[in-house]
Chain A
Amino acid sequence: MLLIELVVAISLVVSLVSLYLGFGSWLKTRKAVAVIKGILNTRSTKMVRPRRRYLVFEIIAVSGSLPHVRKPDIEGALESSCRLLYGVLGYSIIRPTIIYYDESRGVGILSFKHNWRNHVFLLLSLTREVGGVKVVVVPRATTGTRRKAMDYVRRA
C-alpha cells in the first residue's frame, strides 16, 4: 500500500516537473520564433508601391445651397487645405484628385495614394467652406477600384 502511494507521489512530481519544463521550452521556442520572424521581416525597410484608393464622399451644405458647390471649387479647397497641412511635398505625394462629382446630389469620388488614407480623412474634415458655401464632407466608403466606387455612388 505504501509502495503504491510512493509510486503515485513520484509520478505526480515527475509529471509536474515535466509540465514545468515543457512550459519553459514552449516559452523559449516562442521567443526564438519571434526573433527569427523579426530578422525575416523586411517590410519596414521595403518601399511599397503606392496604390490608388477611391473614396466616395458626400457633401452636406450647412449654409447655402448644394448646386453652388462645384467640382473646381472642391479641388481648390482640397488643394489649399492639403498644402497648408502637409506642405508642397505632401501634396505632390498624396495628389488628391476628384475623379467624379455629381453636383445635384453632392456625391463624389476622390482618389489618393493608399498609404496616406488617414491624412486624407483629416484633410476632408478640414474642408469646411467650398465656393462660399459652408459644408461638411462625409466620407462614405473607400474602394480599391474606380468601378466599385462608381457602383457605390449609383447605389447611394
Chain B
Amino acid sequence: MLADLCYLGRVDELVARVARKLGYKVVASPKVGKASTVEGVRFIPRIEVRRGSLQEHESGEGVKVLIVESKEDLKSYTRLLGKVDSARVVFDSLGDVSKDFIRRIIGLGAPIEVEFSEVVEKVQSGRPLDYYLLLLRLYARRKIKVYACSGATNPSDMVHPTAMFSLLTVLGLPEELALKAVLKTPAEMVANATH
C-alpha cells in the first residue's frame, strides 16, 4: 500500500486523481479534518504537533508527526514513546547537531521524515545536504527508521514513488533500504495510526 504522508496542500478531486495516477492509496494532509475516500484514494489527517502542545492532540485521529525545531524538543524523549507516529527534524532552525541530539533521535525510535521537496530544493539552491546524509547514514546502520514523502503543496509537486526511491539511492542509500523507506515504513505507519 503506497502512502504519501506529507501532502501539505488543499485536498480536492484533482489531488485525488493525480495521487491515483501516481499509485498512491493513502494521502495524509494537515488540511484534512476527518478521514475520507475520494476517487479510491484515502485521505487521512496529518497532525503536526510541537512538544509544548502534545497533550492537546493526544486524542486526535491521524498520523501524529512531532516537529523537532530545537534540541529541547527531544529532551526526556522517553515521555514521547508511543505518543507520536513519526518525527520531522527542521534542520534549518536546529543549528548544530550534537552527539547528544543524535542519541535522542535514536532513543525516540519513531521513523524520521525525509521530505522530497525539501531535499530537492536544497540541491537546486546549492545548499549542503549534510544533515540528511547523516540521517540516511544512521538509517543504513539500522539505528533509526526513515520514510520518504513528497512534501508537495499542490498537485503538480506530487512525485512518483520511484522518484523518491531514486533520490534516496542517488544519495547513497542501498536499494533495499530505500525501497523500505518508500513502501514499507509509511504503510506500517498508516496501519498503526489511529483513524
Interface residues of A (CB under 8 A from B): 58, 60, 62-63, 84-85, 117-119, 121-122, 124-126, 128-129, 134-139
Contacts and interface: CB of A to CB of B under 8 A. Distances in A.
B18 A84 contact: no
Majority-rule SS of B interface residues: helix
A118 B170 contact: yes
B157 A139 contact: no
A84 B125 CA distance: 10
22 contacts: A58-B21, A62-B156, A117-B166, A118-B170, A119-B166, A119-B170, A121-B160, A121-B163, A121-B165, A122-B166, A124-B160, A124-B163, A125-B116, A125-B160, A126-B120, A128-B157, A134-B156, A135-B156, A136-B21, A136-B155, A136-B156, A136-B158
B79 to A, nearest CB: 38
Contacts of A63: 156
Interface residues of B, number: 23
Interface of B: 14, 17-18, 21-22, 116, 120, 123-124, 154-160, 162-163, 165-167, 169-170
B155 A122 contact: no
A129 B156 CA distance: 8
A122 B163 contact: yes
A138 B160 contact: yes
Given A62-B155, A62-B156, A121-B160, A136 B166 contact: no
A118 B21 contact: no
Contact of B163 (A60, A125, A134, A135): A125
B156 A122 contact: no
B169 A118 contact: yes
Which one of A62, A119, A135 has the greatest number of beta carbons of chain B within 10 Å? A62
Contacts of A139: 160, 162
Nearest to A117: B166
Nearest to B162: A121
A134 to B, nearest CB: 4
Contacts of A136: 18, 21-22, 155-156, 158
